[in-house]
Structure 1
Amino acid sequence: MEKGKGIMGSGGRWAVDFSDNSTAPPSRDIPDPPGFTRASVDQDDSTVSRQKKDAESNWKAQKAWEVAQAPFKNLLMMGFMMWMAGNTVHLFSIGITFSALWQPISALQGVGKVFEPYKDNKVDLLGPKLLFIALNLGGLALGVWKLNTLGLLPTHASDWVSSLPPAQEVEYSGGGIPL
């Protein structure tokens, strides 16, 4: 086999020419491989950066939804703890109830801070924020319901007796014999 003739000879389909071009400067005379163009490399860089930005936006949207659904787990745990505390008024049940009230209130005050890391022009945070608010309002409603079952909410007229003015005397009777 001669040098430079390749595997199949000089005219074959898989012919390889190993001519010595080491003295020639590198030039653009060498054609690109089939399916490759230099313009596509530059275009691929912009496509890759756009795909990375899209992937980051998708990741942020997914994480925002996960954060929005997190209060649901807290809701289930708090409901179980309130059930375990029972319906009698004692220190443990009152502590659990006020904890169930305080957590949603503090979470609702910090909605902006919770979703701050996920802000992006391509990410719509309205849906996750509304879900987060709705679940925390559900937790607040659960705490208010527990206050009612403990009898700590003033729901009857007898709970407001102290704020009513004293009843006016309709008649006055006195006893004894007049002299």
Structure 2
Amino acid sequence: MEKGKGVLGAGRRWAVDFSDNSTAPSSRDIPDPPGFTRASVDQDDSAVSRQKKDAEANWKAQKAWEVAQAPFKNLLMMGFMMWMAGSTVHLFSIGITFSALWQPISALQGVGKVFEPYKDNKVELLGPKLLFIALNLGGLALGVWKLNTLGLLPTHASDWVSSLSPAQEVEYSGGGIPL
């Protein structure tokens, strides 16, 4: 490099001058590239936005159905875990059973929050919500069935003995002097 010739030297072919030139042509003076017209962009905006809204509505409907089917995977996993826990009453089987009961209950309480991101005028959420509720009720039924197999549900008369009144005396016998 010669002395006095820097990176932005006057003789450089690809040098960029960032100084403010008020006489520079505006972007309107530059012609559009071949095949491009500004009028067609404005007309197509409504069609493109309609297509985007339709695509977004389809995506939301698809995701709503995926969320609605998610409890099925949980149902299969809980069923397998309950089967592995066995039918004896111990801490692990009781914990799995109460977890199988709690998860559907908490999911049923939050149905509105689960499907809130997918609300749209074009998306029908009744079907996915009903499927979500049905699968969670199935999970709840699975938990109640497991409680029954563990013998923790009061389904026999002997489970209610403490609440029965004492039996009436039908006979009276007493010892004493024979006559």
TM-score bin (small chain):
0.7 to 0.9
Contact 1:57/1:123 (CA < 8 Å) preserved in 2? Answer: yes
- 2:172: which partner in 1? 172
CA contact (8 A) 1:7 1:16 kept: no
Matched, 1:137 2:131: no
Aligned-partner Cα distance in 1 for 2:21–2:55? 45
Q: 1:178 to 1:4 in 2, by over 3 A?
A: closer
Aligned 8 A contact 1:71 1:132 in 2: yes
C-alpha displacement at 1:10, in angstroms? 44
Deviation of residue 166 (structure 1)? Answer: 1.0
Shift of 1:43: 2.7
Q: Deviations over 1:45-66 (max 9, x none)?
A: 1000011111111111111111
How big is the alpha-carbon RMSD for the aligned residues of Structure 1 and Structure 2? 9.0
Unaligned runs of 5+ residues in structure 1 are none
Say whether the 8 Å CA contact 1:3–1:18 is kept in structure 2: no
Work out the CA distance in 1 between the residues paired with 2:176 and 2:133: 70
1:120-170 deviation digits (Å, cap 9, x = unpaired): 111110000000000000000000000011111111111111111111111
Q: 1:53 to 1:175 in 2, by over 3 A?
A: same
Distance in 1 of aligned mates of 2:90 and 2:18:
93
1:151 maps onto 2:151 in alignment: yes
Q: Is the 8 A contact 1:82 1:97 kept in 2?
A: yes
Distance 1:6 1:41, change over 3 A: farther
User: Can you list the C-alpha shifts for 1:75-121, whole angstroms capped at 9, x where unaligned?
Assistant: 00000000000000001000000000000000000000000111111
Any idea what SS the aligned residue of 1:174 has?
coil
Change (3 A) 1:33 1:5: farther
Change (3 A) 1:41 1:176: same
Percent pairwise identity: 94
**For the structure 1 residues 43 and 5, does the alpha-carbon distance in structure 2 shift closer, same or farther, using more than 3 Å as the test?**
farther
Deviates most, 47-56 or 151-160: 151-160
Runs in 1 of length 4+ with deviation above 4 angstroms? 1-40
| In 2, Cα distance between equivalents of 1:92 and 1:2 | 83
Report 1 or 2 for greater relative contact order, CA contacts < 8 Å, sequence distance ≥ 6: 2
CA pair 177-73 structure 1, distance change in 2 beyond 3 A:
same
Q: 1:29 to 1:13 in 2, by over 3 A?
A: farther
C-alpha separation in 1, matches of 2:145 and 2:3: 92
Distance 1:176 1:8 in 2: 133
How many residues align structurally? 179
- Structure 1 residue 171 displacement after superposition: 1.9
Q: Choose 33-42 or 88-97, whichever is displaced more.
A: 33-42
> 2:32 & 2:5 partners in 1: Cα distance?
22
